[in-house]
Amino acid sequence: MTRPRRFRALAAVTTATAFTLLTAVPAHADAIRDQQWGLEALHTGGAWQTTKGKGITVAVLDTGVDDEHPDLAGQVLPGKDLIGFGAERGDRSWALHGTAMAGIIAGRGNGPGQGDGVLGVAPEAKILPVRVILESGDPSRSKARESRGTALADGIRWATDHGADVINLSLGDDSESAHPEPGEDAAVQYALGKGVAVVASAGNSGDKGDRASYPAAYPGVIAAAAVDRYGTHAAFSTRRWYATVSAPGVDIVVANPDGHYYMEWGTSAASAYVSGAVALVRAAHPGLSPAQIKTLLTDTAGNAPEGGRDDARGYGLVDPAAAIAAGAKPRPDDRGARAAEAGYGKQYFGSGPAPEKGDGKPAGWLAPSAGGLGAVLLALAVVLWRGRNNGGRSGGAPFPAGPYR
């Protein structure tokens, strides 16, 4: 018997992250911060001269968030569990991916002077956790697939009604059967209509057919593609018409509820970086609409592809510092941009898949002196550093392998 349409979403929607084998490093501040190359790439230092995201709430619709992680202490608001079963705190399959994304967005570090651990793009923003999916290693995942198919759409509406300024969706369906789901599309439009910016990962099928991913392909969504530290399009990152901007998605240090830190790759991380950037822009310019913010990000993106845009990297690398500066200037309402996105198959950020051009040129923030990155797509992991303040948790496995984005 075929599954009812309303259950399509959670059956195929997954988070999307994989992990890379690295050598363990000593437990001192620089071991983590020195590897957070994405903060420098996004010029966060310049943005932080204006704001660090204070007053902004970013909803993380994911597998849950560990509100007791030292890097997120005081940052996580009471949230909502729309699954209602599955792994619980202390289990190996609890809140892995969601905690990692929350740290990229709003981690504030830990220890003396907050000098240890992961620092997020918007370290003074708040995280609103909404559990809409289970980890791939959770034994209850099949049950969730069958019974919680509307969780994503419900979560978008719940977050919108409970104070979210930005919604991060580091998840999606890019399976062969992926298609627009009316309930999800309507929820996204509801959020946008209430002034909530929606960010989603572009997809990880770049080396598996470049299949369109939802919710990234819904009109109005800011879709994040992934690049490496040289600004080069990551091979796994989906190339599609909806790519808005790109962000770091290779060799990303993330926090984990088990008290360890891991390296990840995936457009999940790119989405979280962009959500952090949007949080900074919203904090600096609270009167901007989601459409204005999207246009502002595309207008100020750096390391733009040849011709200004392509399906691999969108308009280029998101730059919150440049967007904040440009946002101070009078801007049109951009209602026309929203209207142009109102229907499928009409007008998008591009005319469809385009040949990759100019993807290989290095970005300006790092000289290409490091070794090759040929091994970064290995779905392996190793502990980088075990948090000294994890309350005695031990052991722990890396995020479960799978079709993570």
> Would the pTM count as exceeding 0.75?
yes
Q: Tell me whether residue 235 is exposed, middle or buried, using C-beta atoms within 10 angstroms of its C-beta: 0 to 12, 13 to 18, 19 or more.
A: middle
Give residue for tokens 């997954």.
14
379 or 12, greater pLDDT = 12
More confident residue, 113 or 19: 113
E-strand ranges in 32-135 read: 57-62, 80-81, 108-110, 116-119, 126-131
User: Which pLDDT score, from 0 to 100, does residue 347 have?
Assistant: 30
pLDDT value at residue 193: 98
Which domains are present in the chain? 31-386 (3.40.50.200)
Catalytic residues: 62, 97, 268
Taking all residues of the chain, what is their mean pLDDT, rounded to a whole number?
Answer: 81
3-state secondary structure of 226: strand
| Per-residue confidence (pLDDT) for residue 114, from 0 to 100 | 85
Under the banding of pLDDT at 50, 70 and 90, the label for residue 66 is very high
pLDDT for res 12: 52
Query: 61 pairs with which residues across the strands?
Result: 130
pLDDT digits (tens, 9 = 90+) for 108-164: 999 888 889 999 999 999 999 999 999 999 999 989 988 999 999 999 999 999 999
Say if CB 349 and CB 241 are below 8 A apart. yes
pLDDT tens for 39-56 read: 999 999 999 999 999 999
| 365 CB burial (10 A radius; 0-12, 13-18, 19+) | middle
User: At 370, is the pLDDT very low, low, confident or very high (cuts 50, 70, 90)?
Assistant: very low
| Helical (H) or strand (E) element with 260 | strand 260-265
Tell me 314's DSSP state.
B
Q: Which residue has the higher pLDDT, 218 or 364?
A: 218
Q: According to the model, what pLDDT value does residue 371 have?
A: 29
More confident residue, 358 or 78: 78
